[in-house]
Homo-oligomer: A and B are copies of this chain.
Amino acid sequence: MIGRLNHVAIAVPDLEAAAKTYRETLGAKVSPPQAEPAHGVTVVFVELPNTKIELLHPLGANSPIAPFLERNPSGGMHHLCFEVDDILAARDRLKAEGARVLGDGNPKIGAHGKPVLFLHPKDFIGTLIELEQV
């Protein structure tokens, strides 16, 4: 069912410093910051040859990553995003397997303009998983 690893998301307390670490210390190709007000984050994309790292910083009140940064003030890996062909079929299979889909169970339009769902980390060995239909 799951396809490519679309991205690894890392929540960061200082977006400029994190972008500099990936650009200058690790020598990666790093995008300018991109505000995603509908998702409560500002994102910097680290482009690797086979996938992306997304550096996420809270934007506005009620950012979905603010609680994570309160628990992990230095930042850290926040979620993995896997691609799926059919997000409704994936959701129904996951629910039939007993996995919990976060929110109301309906896909939302994610930061890449595509339907996404998040899965409960307790059902996936402590890892928050995003599914994105591609």
Residues of A within 8 A of B (CB): 1-5, 8, 10, 12-13, 17-18, 21, 24-28, 48-51, 53, 55, 72, 74-77, 80, 82, 93-94, 97, 99, 121-127, 129
Number of copies: 2
Contact for A5 among B3, B5, B21, B74, CB less than 8 A: B5
| A10 to B79 alpha-carbon distance, docked (Å) | 12
Contacts of A80 in B (CB 8 A): 8, 53, 77
> In the complex, what residue of chain B is closest to A49 when comparing beta carbons?
B4
Question: Nearest chain B CB to A13's CB is how many angstroms away?
Answer: 8
Q: Are B21 and A1 in contact (CB under 8 A)?
A: no
Q: Are B10 and A125 in contact (CB under 8 A)?
A: yes
